[in-house]
């Protein structure tokens, strides 16, 4: 019988997290500076299957090897983080955009952003738009593809379009 040690826990964790390739493969691509290229939108319908396989694999490993609670808890925590990382990042991004009250003299412009496929794309567009001078805050919705810019002064539309195009996306102002 195989002894359940720290090395086996790490190996098991890597095998379990490979059940969710939309997360692991995305992380590997991002490490090499490659964008998602729509990978998340292709694998998204199969995400419940990957999560179910992960739960089955965790249950089997617990029943088969009876690991120590601390080791098993660390593997479960890592697996849950990888499985639900899109939701975790989405919640953290929404909480960071709530920055209190704005002054009365603000301008809100709405933009349609095309080419976003995942949370990483949305985060990239938001980061690029925040770098534009005079932008107070930015909210980018992945589902609708809409970006809302809140500024104190009127910003030239071409500056926004150029910034978004430099990130590899297309922007169109919504009137």
Of 145, 147, 119, 118, which Cα lies nearest the Cα of 135?
147
**Residue 63 pLDDT:** 84
A 10 A CB-CB count for 40 gives 20
Share of the chain above pLDDT 70, in %: 67
CB-based contacts of 175, cutoff 8 Å, min separation 6? none
Task: Tell me the C-alpha distance between 139 and 97, whole Å.
Answer: 7
Please tell me the predicted confidence (pLDDT) of residue 122. Answer: 86
Is the confidence at residue 22, as pLDDT, over 60? no
Beta bridge partners of 109: 149
The pLDDT value given to residue 36? 60
Residue 75 is predicted with a pLDDT of 82
pLDDT for the residue 159: 92
pLDDT score of 65: 81
All CATH 3.30.70.100 domain ranges in the chain, comma separated: 99-174
Residue 27 has pLDDT above 70, yes or no: no
Sign of CA dihedral 84, 88, 89, 94: positive
Residue 5 pLDDT? 57
Kindly tell me if the per-residue pLDDT of 101 is higher than 50: no
CATH of domain 99-174: 3.30.70.100
Residue 37: both structure tokens together: 């290229």
Reported pTM: 0.52
* Contact call for residues 129 and 138 (beta carbons, < 8 A): yes
Q: Is the pLDDT of residue 31 over 50?
A: yes
Percent of the chain with pLDDT over 90: 12
């Amino acid at each position: 019988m195989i002894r359940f040690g720290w090395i086996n826990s790490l190996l098991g964790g890597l095998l379990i997290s490979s059940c969710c390739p939309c997360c692991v493969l995305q992380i590997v691509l991002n490490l090499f500076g490659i964008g998602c290229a729509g990978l998340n939108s292709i694998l998204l319908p199969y995400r419940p299957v990957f999560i179910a396989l992960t739960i089955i694999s965790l249950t089997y490993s617990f029943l088969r090897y009876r690991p120590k609670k601390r080791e098993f808890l660390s593997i479960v925590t890592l697996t849950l983080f990888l499985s639900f990382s899109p939701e975790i990042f989405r919640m953290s991004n929404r909480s960071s955009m709530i920055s209190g009250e704005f002054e009365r003299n603000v301008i809100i412009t709405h933009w349609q952003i095309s080419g976003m496929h995942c949370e990483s794309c949305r985060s990239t567009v938001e980061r690029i738009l925040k770098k534009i001078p005079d932008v107070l805050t930015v909210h980018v919705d992945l589902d609708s593809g809409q970006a809302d810019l809140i500024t104190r002064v009127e910003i030239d539309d071409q500056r926004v379009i150029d910034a978004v195009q430099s990130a590899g996306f297309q922007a169109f102002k919504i009137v």
